[in-house]
Structure formats: C-alpha cells, structure tokens
C-alpha cells in the first residue's frame, strides 16, 4: 500500500484531507522540502544529466547531498550578483538549471526564460521581472549571444555562465554551501519564481509562484503519482516551463527519486525520440511526462525488444490527448497513461486520473487532494454568475494552496482571478457525477460559424482516429458570410499517402456535428508547436486568414498580391497585402472589408 494511501475516487481524496496539508508537508517552502529529502537520502542519486541521449555513457551524477550544496551556493551567489533582485535564466535542460531554479527560489526568486525566444522578448520578460542578473550558457554558444544582447540592452545586467570555467561556478565557490547569507529564506509567502506565460507572441504575463505554492503542489503530485525514492523520472520537456520544473522536477526531488535529464534539448532532439525506449530500459525509468504531440511521435518509434517493464506511468497534459492516440499508444506499448491537467497559475497540476481507480479516457481526471475544482458559468462582464450543475458546460475554475496570488503585472489579473479566490482557467469543461472533469476546449479556441459554437476538439478527435494522421488541429478560418468556418491542419504518419481531399471526405462522415465538418483539410510537413510541444494555433489561424484573403482577392480579379498575417496583442489578427496598385486597391478593399480581421496595404 502506498504511504499516501489508496487514491481511487473522490472519497479517497476527501479521506486524505482529514489531515491538514500543513501537517503533511516536511516544510512550508519548496527549499525546505528539498532539504528534508536530502537529509533523508544524502547518498542517493538525485540527478543524472545526459549530455547526449544518443550517448548514454556520457552522464553526470549528483547525490542529494551534492545537489543540496549546489542549490545553497547558487542561492547565495545569485542573491549577491543581482542585489537581491530575481535571477533570470536562459538555459537548456541541465543539472545547473535545477540548481539555479531552486537556489534562486530560496532567495531572490527565479525568472525562467524560454531559450527559443528572440532577444526582444527576452528583454521584455527580464524587464517585467525586474531581474538583477541573468544566467546562461558559455561564451560562443547561440544562447550566450542572445543573453549578451539582452544584458546590454538592459543596461549591463550581470551575466553569469554555467559549465567548466563559468562565472557562476566561480561565484558559487566564493559563498557558503551549507547556510544562507541572506535573510528570509524560510518565508513561505515570498515569490519563488516568475514563470512567463502566453505562448510565443504578445506581451508575456509573469505568474508569481510562491514558495508555499510550490511546496503544496509538489506534495499533491507525490500523492497523486505515489512518487518515492524508488522512482526514476525522465525529463524531456524544457525546464523554463512549470511542467518539467514541478511535475518532473521538484515533486520527484522532494520524494527522493532520481531525475534523468534526457539531454539539453529534451524531446526537441530527434535522437531522444529515436532512442527513447532503450533509455527507459537502461536507466529503469518509472515515470515520464509528455504532451500529446510527443506521444503521437513516439508511435513512430516502436518499443521493439526494449524492456520497458519498469515504466509505471506515462503522464500527459498541456493539451487534451485525442482518445485515438491514447488508445493506440497504450495498445502498442502496454504502458499506462495518466491524463492530467493544470496551469502555471496553479503552480503545475490541478487534476489527474486516479492511479488506483478508474481512468476515464478523454477526461482530465479528478481534483488533486487539497485542491478545489469547479465549473463556472461566467457572465458577459467576466464575473462568476453561478457554479454549473452536473455535466453542465462552463469554464474550469481552480482554487487552493497551489493557486498563485496573481501576476507580477497587476493589470493582467482582471478576468483571471474572480471573487471568492477562484482562478478562471479560460478552459471549457464539465464535471460528471463522480467528479471527473472533461475539458472541451479553450474559450478563445471556439469556432463560431454563423452563431453556431463549434468545439475544435470534435474535428481534431475525428481526424486523429484516422490511421494515416499523426497530428490534427482545427481552427476558424475567416469567412465573409459565416464569420468563421472550420478548417483543419494535419501531419501524416511516415509513409502515408492519403490526400487532403480524401481526408475532407473522411471528416464529413467522421465529425459528429455536420456544421463542424471542416471546409478544408490541409496537410503540413510539420505542425507549428510551442517550445513545450503544444500545437501553436495562432500560426494556423494566420495561415487560414492568408488562405481566405487570397481566395477573396482572386475572386475579385486581383492576382499576384503578396499576403502575410500576424497577430497583434491589441488589434488581434492583421492581414498585410503587398503588390496592390492604385487601380486595384479599391477592389481589394471591397473584397476584404467583409472579414473580421483587420487588413493593411503593405
């Protein structure tokens, strides 16, 4: 029996809650929980860091005692380097990334930055976080060049580098590794991390996670997944994101588990995807986390002769998993998948299918212990009208000790944080009679065709069931008559030869609601994804707008115009048209003015 007890239903969750969460935690802060694990398992391996997933012999190792010392040294060095202001980091997946994240979290606060972002956005994030220093890779690396530019544009922000001979190592050697040289490390209400959210375009919001938020969520996750010192948890998602940082980082580290960092680039490295199953066998991996795109891609790499019997769970979140991919993956690998759900604003995870009970495929499970989840009916002014009834659709609301106090930019809180302490996720869903939550899409992802609300998930699920389809995404394409019409984008499995016309015909029969059948299916060589592997729908919406504008101009007798599109935070979707003449510009205006997007002559 798990030391956390059985976790099969809401009744088990309620039984766990008979003891206050504060009594469950080893300490009220994330660092305090890490320290407790290090004291319990000083000689156990905390982190295995692969330089290259194709070369598993090239591995660096830290025990819990060694890792704790590095975390304390980083806390002291970064607090000193930045004058107590948050420490930004622009790093791949390295052991040092964990030391920086949890060290800064115990002191000045961490500001993780997506290493794929441009210098312009990096500057914006660090400025918003009021960062006092920035940690990055060695001089001569692409990341260092971006970090150096950002540092210079921020008035000479102190820049520290990791690795042999790096300035961070030198700074850490000058400070203690057994105690803090600053005050306030034991304050649970201090901000531990400023995680940026909002995708890859537009002004990022900084979600302020407190030390108490992180301490609470790591325990919830350890309970939900029954994590212990016997687990080996593989990290392939990026450590600037809460999923990797908390779910496959802090939670297992507080449990005494071993972290396997599967290469600096994680799942973005094709070598990891190709060699994933042999790595599982070699290191006896018990748990890993991925997004639906990762599971779809792993289907192209059979388990073969690898012994993967050590795997207890594959975890999936960040976006709904198509039921067809879920079933196909479990059938071909024999691996149990637990679908879960959460947000950076709830620290990481809020719901999970129960490890000991019924997994309702297609749902995101039941709430975690000590975490409240409700479905809300939201008024047009953004206020909570009432809670929804059983199986009634609404927006998913979250409340509890892991929900953040707000964004660093206070103006971003409006509409997100409701009366009563509820966080409005912006996700649509319903809750069944047994407390399982069924996510049906994003409120902003709804396709509205002549007033008919279409859930893109209906289209995506239908297309994902086709054996030749690897990934599917549906968006609304601007339409002069209907406002929007649904269109779908797919990538195909290796060797597939099906045509777009065939998929359109298939979708007409497979999509349950007739108005939701996509007007067009477009085959892509590669699906646009974010740095964590989530399908990036803004890029698809822009492509759809270009297609709509192109067709409208051609119908107006205008050929040869060059059309582009981008998404502006304030104005929304904007279509740019170049190559117009003074003679055909009025006709172009007449052709495009009926669409909902703004357009400009370039």
Residue 509 domain-assigned (yes or no): yes
pLDDT at 89: 98
pLDDT at 335: 92
Question: The CATH number of the domain where 476 resides is what?
Answer: 3.30.300.30
pLDDT at 201: 39
Residues 375, 393: contact at Cβ < 8 Å? yes
Residue 321 domain-assigned (yes or no): yes
Which residue spans within 171-244 are E strands per DSSP? Answer: 191-197, 205-210, 232-235
Residue 587 domain-assigned (yes or no): yes
Give the C-alpha distances (Å, rounded to integers) separating 498 from 42, 299, 492, 501.
56, 18, 8, 8
119 and 28 within one domain: yes
526 and 543 within one domain: no
Please identify, among 514, 535, 556, the residue that sits at the C-terminal boundary of a domain.
535
pLDDT at 198: 60
Q: What b/e string do you get for 98-137 counting C-beta neighbours within 10 Å, with b at 16 or more?
A: bbbbbbbbbbbbbbbbbbebebebbbbbbebbebbbbbbb
379 and 252 within one domain: yes
Q: What CA–CA distance (Å, rounded) separates 374 from 359?
A: 20
pLDDT at 202: 46
Residues 575, 564: contact at Cβ < 8 Å? yes
The string of pLDDT tens digits covering residues 537-572 is 999 999 999 999 999 999 999 988 899 999 875 567
Q: Which H helix or E strand runs over 438?
A: strand 437-442
Residues 194, 110: contact at Cβ < 8 Å? yes
550 and 489 within one domain: no
200 and 82 within one domain: yes
pLDDT at 571: 67
Residue 88 domain-assigned (yes or no): yes
Please identify, among 504, 535, 566, the residue that sits at the C-terminal boundary of a domain.
535
Does residue 21 carry a pLDDT above 90? yes
Over residues 279-293, the mean pLDDT reads: 94
392 and 280 within one domain: yes
Task: Show the tokens assigned to 484.
Answer: 């929007």
Question: The CATH number of the domain where 426 resides is what?
Answer: 3.40.50.12780
Mean pLDDT, the chain, whole residue set = 92
Secondary structure of residue 137 in the 3-state scheme:
coil
333 and 202 within one domain: yes
426 and 300 within one domain: yes
The string of pLDDT tens digits covering residues 410-434 is 999 988 999 999 999 988 889 999 9
344 and 430 within one domain: yes
501 and 403 within one domain: no
Residue 225: phi and psi, rounded to 5, are -105, -5
Give the C-alpha distances (Å, rounded to integers) separating 323 from 320, 463, 466.
9, 11, 12
Secondary structure of residue 354 in the 3-state scheme:
coil
Of the two residues 251 and 379, the one the predictor is more confident about is 251
Residue 161 domain-assigned (yes or no): yes
Residue 2 domain-assigned (yes or no): no
Task: Show the tokens assigned to 71.
Answer: 């975390």
Q: Which H helix or E strand runs over 464?
A: helix 456-464
409 and 474 within one domain: no
Residue 527 domain-assigned (yes or no): yes
pLDDT at 315: 96
Confidence of residue 452 (pLDDT cuts 50, 70, 90): low
Nearest to 259 by CA among 49, 42, 34, 38: 49
Residue 314 domain-assigned (yes or no): yes
> Which range marks the domain in which residue 547 is found?
539-602
Q: Are strands 452-454 and 447-449 parallel, antiparallel or unpaired?
A: antiparallel
Over residues 118-123, the mean pLDDT reads: 90
178 and 127 within one domain: yes
Q: Based on the structure, what is the number of domains in the chain?
A: 3
> What is the percentage of the chain residues whose pLDDT exceeds 90?
78
The string of pLDDT tens digits covering residues 138-183 is 999 999 999 999 999 999 999 999 999 999 999 999 999 999 999 9
Please identify, among 483, 500, 535, the residue that sits at the C-terminal boundary of a domain.
535
Q: What is the DSSP letter of 3?
A: T
pTM attached to this predicted model: 0.82
- The total of other beta-carbon atoms located within 10 Å of residue 222's CB is 24
Those residues whose C-beta lies under 8 Å from the C-beta of residue 305, and which sit 6 or more positions away, are: none
- The total of other beta-carbon atoms located within 10 Å of residue 172's CB is 24
């Amino acid at each position: 029996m798990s030391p956390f007890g059985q976790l099969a239903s809401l009744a088990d969750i309620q039984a766990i809650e008979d003891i206050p969460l504060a009594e469950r935690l080893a300490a009220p802060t994330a660092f305090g929980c890490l320290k407790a694990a290090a004291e319990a398992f000083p000689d156990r391996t905390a982190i295995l860091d692969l330089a290259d997933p194709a070369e598993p012999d090239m591995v660096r190792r830290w025990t819990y005692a060694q890792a704790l010392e590095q975390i304390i040294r980083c806390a002291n060095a970064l607090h000193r380097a930045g004058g107590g202001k948050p420490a930004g980091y622009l790093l791949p997946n390295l052991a040092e990334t964990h030391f920086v994240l949890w060290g800064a979290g115990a002191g000045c606060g961490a500001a993780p930055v997506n290493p794929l972002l441009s210098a312009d956005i990096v500057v914006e994030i660090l400025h918003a976080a009021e960062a006092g220093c920035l940690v990055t890779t060695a001089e001569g690396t692409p990341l260092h060049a971006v970090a150096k530019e950002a540092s210079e544009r921020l008035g000479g922000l102190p820049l520290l580098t990791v690795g042999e001979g790096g300035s961070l190592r030198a700074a850490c050697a000058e400070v203690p590794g057994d105690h803090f040289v600053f005050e306030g490390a034991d304050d649970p209400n201090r901000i531990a991390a400023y995680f940026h959210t909002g995708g890859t375009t537009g002004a990022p919001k900084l979600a302020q996670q407190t030390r108490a938020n992180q301490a609470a969520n790591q325990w919830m996750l350890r309970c939900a997944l029954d994590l212990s010192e016997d687990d080996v948890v593989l990290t392939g998602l990026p450590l600037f994101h809460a999923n990797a940082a908390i779910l496959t980082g802090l939670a297992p580290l507080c449990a005494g588990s071993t972290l396997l960092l599967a290469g600096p680039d994680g799942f973005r490295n094709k070598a990891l995807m190709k060699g994933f199953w042999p790595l599982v066998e070699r290191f006896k991996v018990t748990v890993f986390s991925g997004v639906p795109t990762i599971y779809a891609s792993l289907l192209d790499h059979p388990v073969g002769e690898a012994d993967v019997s050590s795997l207890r769970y594959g975890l999936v979140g960040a976006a709904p998993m198509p039921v067809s991919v879920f079933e196909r993956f479990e059938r071909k690998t024999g691996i149990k998948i637990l679908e879960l759900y959460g947000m950076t604003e709830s620290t990481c995870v809020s719901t999970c299918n129960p490890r000991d009970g019924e997994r309702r495929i297609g749902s995101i499970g039941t709430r975690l212990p000590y975490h409240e989840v409700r479905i809300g009916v939201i008024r047009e002014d953004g206020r909570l009208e009432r809670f929804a009834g059983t199986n009634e659709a609404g927006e998913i609301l979250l409340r509890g000790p892991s929900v953040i106090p707000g964004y660093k930019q206070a103006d971003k809180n409006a509409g997100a944080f409701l009366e009563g302490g509820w966080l409005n996720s912006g996700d649509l869903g319903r809750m069944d009679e047994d407390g399982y939550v069924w996510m049906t899409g994003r409120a902003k992802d709804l396709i509205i065709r002549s007033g008919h609300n279409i859930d893109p998930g209906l289209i995506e699920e239908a297309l994902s069931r086709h054996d030749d389809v690897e990934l599917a995404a549906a968006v609304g394409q601007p339409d002069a008559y209907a406002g929007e019409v649904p269109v779908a984008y797919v990538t195909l499995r290796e060797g597939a030869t099906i045509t777009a016309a065939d998929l359109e015909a298939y979708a007409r029969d497979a999509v349950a609601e007739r108005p939701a059948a996509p007007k067009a299916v477009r085959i892509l060589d590669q699906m646009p994804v974010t740095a964590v592997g989530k399908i990036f729908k803004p890029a698809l919406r822009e492509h759809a707008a270009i297609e709509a504008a192109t067709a409208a101009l051609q119908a107006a007798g205008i050929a040869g115009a060059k059309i582009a599109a981008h998404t502006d935070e304030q104005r929304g979707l904007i279509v740019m048209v170049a190559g117009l003449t003074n003679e055909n510009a009025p006709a172009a205006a007449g052709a495009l003015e009926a669409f909902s997007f703004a357009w400009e002559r370039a």
